[in-house]
Amino acid sequence: MTMRGFWRGLILFVFGGVLGTGFGVVLGFFLFPFVFPPPPAAEQLTEADRAPAAVAGTPAATTLPAPAASGTPATQSSLVANGNFIHANPSDPIHWGKGKVSVYERAVFLEPDFEVGPGPAFHVYLVPKPNIRREADVSTTMYVDLGRLRAFKGSQRYSIPAGVDLKNYPSVVIWCERFSVLISPADLNVAR
């Protein structure tokens, strides 16, 4: 073996090791949420989430009404809208979602039957556009980011920032921030 062959072999060995390590790290970012998903969430709404928002100039309510005769809390009247997450692109087997979402005056609540396919950096958005079905429907609007998705399944609560007029947001979306991909949209129906 010549010295030139030795160096060429060493360079290929080092380059292959670096390339293999880099590939392994990238593959790990993609596979980690699938292999080690967080446990299902089991969050609950608080009484403050269900309480009607205070009107400017009036004190905030500190107590809630007594439960209604049917056993359902009377505070359900603060339910603003609800909807169901859908699989926006059925030909995409990786990016999907299902389950119910309820929007209250102070919080978005992903119901216990909520579930999405795992992935990195998912966020919950309020979007001021109805019938979201494509990435461009979200990326070209001024959405409200409610925070990072904490679990791929189960009930979760996300606070709505003060000053957000929910009448202007007919959609809740699960969005992958890392790759700008629509995971699952929910069209909201105004509660009656």
Residue 162: both structure tokens together: 């003060």
Mean model confidence pLDDT for the chain: 82
Strands in 79-143 per DSSP E: 79-85, 97-104, 107-110, 115-116, 122-127
**pLDDT above 90 as % of the chain:** 57
Positive/negative CA dihedral, 135, 109, 82, 33: positive
HSE of 53 in the Cβ direction (CA atoms, 13 Å)? 17
Residue 75 carries which side chain, given as an amino acid letter?
T
pTM exceeds cut of 0.85: no
Angle of CA points 149, 150, 154, to nearest 5°: 100
Q: Which residue has the higher pLDDT, 32 or 69?
A: 32
**Collapsed DSSP state (helix, strand, coil) of residue 19:** helix
Spatial distance between the Cα atoms of 135 and 119, rounded to a whole number of angstroms: 16
Mean pLDDT of 110-116: 97
Kindly report, residue by residue over 167-187, the tens digit of the pLDDT.
999 999 999 999 999 999 999
